[in-house]
């Protein structure tokens, strides 16, 4: 009789330990997934800040009579396209499309800022100078938040692939998240010519 109770208690403790570990792993997945979502929200906040700056920059340069209309239209079009893009962090194609839209905005803004160098009135305008500084600060924040997002995703993806976490992950449909990846053009050094 004594051995029977000991066996029951041992089995009960093993089951409680397994169930506790199972729930602990599930809760860790939930926490890590929320960290990824929070990091993504910070990325979106910085992109939204950039979206909000664009109309102010465009309106500031519009008054310059000779300013290239096509450059302004490219910025406005890129912004409009990017704000329509929705994203599921588990969908690699949507992530790639989102990154492409952001690249178009960055390229359009770079062209706009390069062209403004030819307009002394704009260069002397304090409001425009302040907007340029804000945009530069925002671009730095975007880079920082993307890095933090990638760190959160990397931690999540490592955890999801480890044994026995991968079993719990598959049982509750936790999926690998997509990283921000550098654009192919970012790996090519720019050609600077001072002639």
The whole-chain average pLDDT of the chain stands at 86
Q: What is the mean pLDDT of residues 165-193?
A: 72
**How many CB atoms are located within 10 Å of the residue 119 CB?**
17
| φ/ψ of residue 160, rounded to 5 | -70, -25
Report CA dihedral (50, 155, 175, 161) to the nearest 10 degrees: 160
pLDDT of amino acid 1: 61
Superfamily of domain 2-178: LemA-like domain (1.20.1440.20)
pLDDT confidence of residue 191: 42
* Averaged pLDDT for residues 35-59: 93
Percent over 90 (pLDDT), the chain: 42
The stretch 71-98 carries a mean pLDDT of 87
Query: Can you give the pTM of this predicted structure?
Result: 0.81
Q: Let me know: does 29 contact 174? Beta carbons within 8 Å.
A: yes
- Non-local CB neighbours of 65 within 8 Å, separated by 6+ positions: none
pLDDT, one tens digit per residue, over 48-58 is 999 999 998 88
The DSSP line for the chain is -HHHHHHHHHHHHHHHHHHHHHHHHHHHHHHHHHHHHHHHHHHHHHHHHHHHHHHHHHHHHHTSTTS-HHHHHHHHHHHHHHHH----TT-HHHHHHHHHHHHHHHHHHHHHHHHHTT-HHHHH-HHHHHHHHHHHHHHHHHHHHHHHHHHHHHHHHHHHHSTTHHHHHHHTT--PPPPP---GGGGSPP-----
For the chain, what are the domain ranges?
2-178
Confidence of residue 170 (pLDDT cuts 50, 70, 90): very high
Q: CA 195, CA 9: separation in Å to the nearest integer?
A: 85
How does pLDDT run across 90-134, given as a tens digit for each residue? 888 998 899 999 999 999 998 888 888 888 888 788 888 899 999
CA separation for the pair 172, 167 (Å, rounded):
9
CB-based contacts of 130: which residues, under 8 Å, 6+ apart? none
pLDDT tier, 157 (very low <50, low <70, confident <90, very high otherwise): very high
Residue of higher predicted confidence among 189 and 47: 47
- CA distances to 33, 86, 121, 180, 192 from 144, rounded to whole Å, are 20, 21, 33, 12, 26
């Amino acid at each position: 009789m004594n051995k029977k109770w000991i066996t029951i208690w041992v089995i009960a403790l093993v089951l409680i330990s397994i169930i506790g570990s199972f729930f602990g792993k599930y809760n860790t997945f939930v926490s890590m997934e929320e960290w990824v979502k929070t990091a993504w929200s910070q990325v979106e906040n910085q992109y939204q800040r950039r979206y909000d700056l664009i109309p102010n920059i465009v309106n500031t340069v519009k008054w310059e009579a000779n300013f290239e209309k096509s450059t302004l239209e490219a910025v406005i079009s890129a912004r409009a396209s990017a704000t329509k893009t929705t994203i599921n962090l588990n969908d690699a194609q949507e992530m790639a499309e989102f990154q492409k839209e952001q690249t178009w905005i960055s390229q359009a803004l770079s062209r706009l800022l390069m062209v403004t160098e030819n307009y002394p009135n704009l260069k002397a305008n304090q409001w425009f100078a302040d907007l340029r500084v804000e945009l530069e600060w925002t671009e730095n924040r975007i880079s920082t938040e993307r890095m933090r997002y990638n760190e959160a995703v990397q931690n999540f993806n490592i955890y999801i692939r480890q044994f026995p976490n991968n079993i719990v992950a598959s049982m509750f449909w936790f999926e690998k998240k997509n990283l921000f990846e550098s654009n192919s053009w970012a790996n090519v050094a720019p050609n600077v010519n001072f002639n």
